[in-house]
Structure 1
């Protein structure tokens, strides 16, 4: 093999055994003509601290990359509609405003509300009369001064009026009116539409004077304190997912900022794009993320034993990964490899491993070899 004699620079390999005021020139080492093999002297081996070993089996978790978005569960979203038709008298909130549960969003005027209160008061009055009539018919029947039929009719009328009272009272409660406080002097023509949950208003579809019906969505509210991550998983990944797995989510705009979550629910049916929704809860508090934001996520799949080398043994040169093989004592060859996942200080070597079995590789000092191999003076 054709050899080129290379003189090491003083900074490349420094003998650790002594420090002298007058620096002496290091012994030369040899680099192959194609610059993929390097041979060291005994002194250089000791100075660099080269260590080698076979590929070792390490338990390394595989990672699955999925994407999805920030979502809110059903209990964290609310649409506000009017329980009856009417005209908007006032509305003051805009999208982006925060509201607390019970805050008045709008005032609705409804002529039918007046009629409903009137019917309720009349039903109460009629029930009072019907109940007294039933008691009178009952007393007369006991003295045989009234027939059973008359007593039964009076009883039925009292029951019917009581049913009307209860039904009208519930209709009033739906509108937000307390029936117990209604008197002939307190009949009202407007009703307040209140926020059913605390959160941020995301949509407003009303203006003053507008007529609205029960089918119209007037406001939409989202509680951002209960957001979660919904990922899309396809068939090839489903078998690797399970409840409780850790998820590390990140946005495209800031991939270095990770949000930790865990899988809490895996869907049981496929969507139109043949994906299954995977629901994840964030760990350690809610992130400041807007619902609907697109997210990427790495999911820790089941750990398995993989042939690996220490992280420091893997080098990147011109976009490719390499490790150094010890082909004979003090001589090393740079070998291209395909790497997998990394965990606990070890990196998985994947692909065809048949040529790598039972061979020793540099586990310490690989970077120094790369610098000596590539930073040469011809």
Structure 2
């Protein structure tokens, strides 16, 4: 009986001690407060730092699309109608400046060349007659009226010849090389620049009128990036700013761009357009491609802590604030951008002037987590 009483008292003492330890643990971890023993402190080897101002460059992330300015989107038509005799263009095809992209034929091309050569011959005769009448008039061998009529014919022929010359230039016929031996029913249409075909509206044998657009051509020498940026980010954007863009299919290949225009109008969705010029590009970039965009803010000093001090736990971010040698508080923080080993803290006001754990912060988190699990 006496032994039973002793065992009972011993068990009650053990339960009482365990209950007391549990109460101490609850007190130690209440409100994210952790208190460790001197032995644990020596084992963890903590280092302390404080929040400070560091140069941190923020990053604005956006989406954009490769675009071509209006002056580099060319609609090709012909000044005079004709039948398409030849073209090899298909959408997406690259071409070189000066390359023949189409050949048209029509009777009116022959007529224009004929009119030009006849007028050129008539002009020579009219000029000779005018000079003859001028000489005769000087000696009064011819009347003023005859000289004036000769001058009128000469001037008229000169005007007609110039007008026909300009018309022939419109269809790429060089009048300096035109003679009765090389009159042609065909005209060539040449590529005005290096570029890529966007649209083809013709086929062999089709008749095209002067108002018809044969091809849409794009000059890729001046590609730019059209970016949609939210209103809140506009204060951090400026002309001349550098940004980098990349396609989803090749994120490792980043293209450098320079901001050339920041929009002044906010759309209904709260965004505005920012235009940037590619400083380096290649043929893999085509108009209409969707791109990911990263824009670096101007560097500015922000309240920051060392990267090791910031802990991510269950989807939130924390730092340990040192209350005394063995007592610490787990404080939630909102991190920003990181650079040079430091992370910006957006809610920095709660940490200014306090000591923060850097080395050993993760070990403290494990102790706190294990303690809570035991409870």
Pairing 1:363–2:358 present: yes
- The 2-side partners of 1:158 and 1:63 are apart by 73
Q: Any unmatched runs of 5+ in structure 2? A: 1-18
Which is further off, 205-214 or 364-373? 364-373
Report the CA distance between 1:218 and its aligned residue: 1.4
Out of 42, 65, 68, the residue aligned to residue 64 of structure 2 is 68
Q: In the TM superposition, what are the counterparts of 1:29-48 in structure 2 within 5 Å? A: 32-33=28-29, 36-42=32-38, 44-48=40-44
1:47 CA displacement: 4.8
Which ranges of structure 1 fall in alignment gaps of 5 or more residues? Answer: 6-28
Deviations, residues 2-36 of structure 1 (Å, cap 9, x unaligned): 7669xxxxxxxxxxxxxxxxxxxxxxx99945694
Counterpart of 2:306 in structure 1 is: 310
Q: Aligned partners of 1:287 and 1:50: how far apart in 2? A: 54
User: 2 CA distance for matches of 1:34 and 1:358?
Assistant: 23
Equivalent residue for 1:82? 78
C-alpha contact (below 8 Å) 1:121/1:184 kept by paired residues: yes
Q: Which residue of 2 aligns with 1:102?
A: 98
How big is each residue's C-alpha offset from its partner over 1:44-91, in whole Å with a ceiling of 9 and x where there is no partner?
Answer: 545544222221112323333333211123454332222221111122
Further displaced range: 139-148 or 61-70: 61-70
Report if the CA contact (8 A) 1:63-1:301 is conserved.
Answer: yes
Report the CA distance between 1:189 and its aligned residue: 0.7
Aligned to 2:329: 333
For 2:237, the equivalent position in structure 1 comes to 241
Aligned length: 354
Q: Find the counterpart in structure 2 of residue 343 from structure 1.
A: 339
CA distance in 1, matches of 2:50, 2:186: 83
Distance 1:267 1:165, change over 3 A: farther
Give the match for residue 11 of structure 1.
Answer: none
> Whole-Å Cα distance in 2 between the matches of residues 124 and 273 of structure 1?
64
Partner of 2:13: none
Aligned: 1:125 with 2:128? no
Residues 341-369 of structure 1 show CA distances to partners (whole Å, capped at 9, x for unaligned) of 22232211113x44333211112332233
**CA 287–364 in structure 1, closer or farther in 2 if over 3 Å, else same:** farther
> What's the TM-score once normalised by structure 1's chain length?
0.83
Q: Secondary structure at the match of 1:53?
A: strand
Superimposed CA distance per residue, residues 137-175 of structure 1 (whole angstroms, 9 cap, x where no aligned partner):
011011111122322332232122112212211211110
Could you say which residue in structure 2 is the equivalent of 1:59?
55
Counterpart position of 2:12: none
Is 1:188 aligned with 2:184? yes
TM superposition score normalised by structure 2: 0.83
Distance 1:46 1:150 in 2: 123
Select 2:216's aligned residue among 213, 220, 224: 220
- C-alpha change, 1:374 and 1:272, in structure 2 (3 Å) is closer
RMSD of aligned residue pairs (Cα, Å): 3.0
* Pairwise CA distance, 1:122: 1.4
The CA deviation at 1:284 is: 4.3
- Are the structure 2 counterparts of residues 110 and 272 from structure 1 closer, same or farther at C-alpha, using a change threshold of 3 Å? farther
Counterpart secondary structure, 2:297: strand
Distance 1:172 1:68, change over 3 A: same
Query: 1:193, CA displacement in angstroms?
Result: 1.6
**1:122-161 residue pairs with structure 2 within 5 A?**
122-161=118-157
